Amino acid sequence: MASLQPFKAVRPTRDKANLVVSRSYHIYDKEGLEFRLKNNPYSFLQILNPGYKFAQEISSKKEFSLVRNRYHEFKDENFFVQDDIPKYYLYKKVTRTHTFVGIIGATSVEDYNSNVIKIHEKTLEKRELLFKEYIDTVGFNAEPVLLTYPKNNTLDNLFSVIMKARPEYEFSTTDRISHFLWLIDDATQITTIQNEFKNIDSLYIADGHHRSASSALLAEDYPNSDASQKHFMSCLIPESDLKIYEFHRLIKDLNGLSKKEFLIQLDAIFTIENCGLQPRQLSTQHHFSMYLDGEFYILHLRSSFLDFENALEALDAQILYKLVLNPILGITDLRNEKRLDYLPGTKDMIELKQKMDTESFQVAFGMLPINVAQMKQIADEGLTMPPKSTYIEPKLRSGLTIYEF
């Protein structure tokens, strides 16, 4: 039984919504961040990067307090409004290839702790503690955790009715993505949404493992608090709408091996097909693409390695790590290895080749993305994937709806 509650969001005024919302802070490179901070005084990045106002770098703990101050300045200047009654928020994002519709509400820390909300990725304790301190200091969360749920016809039909009305927000961003937001305050519609989620046994985190883990830690510090500390903001979309991509693995060197020695070691694990200068699309799991010394290859996992003990062992990212990255290339820490980099599968082979050739990588591997059923099975078995096993869309904006503690 999953709990999804309405809440009183803080959000931009209608005339400023397109100027306020931003992508996740870490998405921007230095030049892109500088441009937006210089040219858009309404951007939520102004809140997340308060040192820009003072033209100086600021240490983390000091920065947290300044983030809170800048947030309250935005409220004082009436860039934000807060709803006077709890609501749900229906969000639609339209890209050139996909349309995503999700319901934004407050999910329960208790559901997270009791495994009603299930994880598939390990989190780093250091990052959990840092983000817990951050949200405790600033007093808000501005980017929802992305959760997914089984297709539900009642919710689909209700959302279709709601979307016939004029949205509160309707705007496009410079990446050619259109955004829409509807406010749901009708008591009957709210009850329907609550009851439908009560009938759902499990929700699955698609993106936001550290944010949800940090919220659970924060709740432990406030056992007698009101409901706000016992929930965290989430955007829930049907699992049929979730788009999952893979990550390419790019490695700086061959761990002291020559090209010939490296291929000989791979030959014990794979049937190797040299595709020359033309990359080929993968069509089968347990096949891997490889770019090495200016040429593309397809690696077919030999049948002797196709005996798997669980869903994690059958995961291509795990197979690559267990059979190649660790024993042959000497990579032990997938999160912090400086010889290793990742490129999301949304990028094409031209971009991969350019990155390989300009940044002096020696070899790259690709694989097919996993599907939702695999992700759920790993979560249901209490297992966790290797880092960067999935690149999941939609990517949500910061500052569209803000959840205050």
Whether residue 198 sits in one domain with residue 140: yes
Cβ atoms of 247 and 391 closer than 8 Å: yes
Q: What is the domain count for the chain?
A: 2
Q: Are 203 and 325 within one domain?
A: no
Q: Is residue 145 part of a domain?
A: yes
Whether 9 and 54 share a structural domain: yes
pTM more than 0.75: yes
Does 106 map to a domain? Answer: yes
User: 207 and 223: one domain?
Assistant: yes
For the cut 60, the answer to whether the pLDDT of residue 58 exceeds it is no
Do 42 and 21 form a contact (C-beta atoms < 8 A)?
no
* Residue 376 within any structural domain of the chain: no
Residues spanned by the domain of 79: 4-244+393-404
pLDDT tier at 59, thresholds 50, 70, 90: low
Residue 51 predicted with pLDDT over 80:
no
Any idea what the CATH number is for the domain that residue 356 is in? Answer: 3.30.1760
Q: What integer pLDDT is reported at residue 208 of this predicted model? A: 95
Please report whether residue 74 resides in a domain: yes
Q: Do 9 and 103 touch, CB atoms closer than 8 A?
A: no
Residues forming a β-bridge with 291: 296, 364
For range 235-254, the mean pLDDT: 96
Per-residue pLDDT band for 214 (boundaries 50, 70, 90) equals very high
- Is residue 190 domain-shared with residue 319, that is, in the same domain? no
Residue 61 has pLDDT above 90, yes or no: no
Percent of the chain residues topping a pLDDT of 70? 97
In a domain, 379, yes or no: no
The mean pLDDT value for 194-221 works out to 96
Does a structural domain hold residue 382?
A: no
Cis peptide before 41 (omega within 30 of 0): no
pLDDT computed for residue 350 by the predictor: 86
What's the longest Cα–Cα distance across the chain? 69
Q: Residue 63 is which amino acid? A: E
Q: Rounded to an integer, what distance in angstroms lies between the CA atom of residue 48 and that of residue 140?
A: 12
Is the same domain home to 182 and 276?
no
pLDDT at residue number 26: 80
Q: Is the confidence at residue 71, as pLDDT, over 90?
A: yes
93 is a domain residue: yes
Q: What is the mean pLDDT of the chain?
A: 94
pLDDT band at 27 (very low <50, low <70, confident <90, very high): confident
Mean pLDDT along residues 128-138: 93
Give the up-direction half-sphere exposure of residue 343: CA atoms within 13 A in the CB hemisphere. 21
User: Are residue 30 and residue 123 in the same domain, yes or no?
Assistant: yes
Query: For residue 385, is it within any domain?
Result: no
Q: What is the pLDDT of residue 82?
A: 97
pLDDT greater than 90 at residue 123: no
Q: Do 236 and 253 share a domain, yes or no?
A: no
In terms of domains, do 211 and 77 share one?
A: yes
Q: What is the pLDDT of residue 287?
A: 97
pLDDT (tens digit per residue) in 176-207: 999 999 999 999 999 999 999 999 999 999 99
| 296 and 170 co-located in one domain | no
If asked whether residues 35 and 122 sit together in one domain, one would say yes
pLDDT of residue 52: 58
149 and 183 belong to one structural domain: yes
pLDDT bracket for residue 53 (50, 70, 90): low
pLDDT at 60: 64
pLDDT given for residue 307 in this prediction: 94
Return the pLDDT at 122. Answer: 84
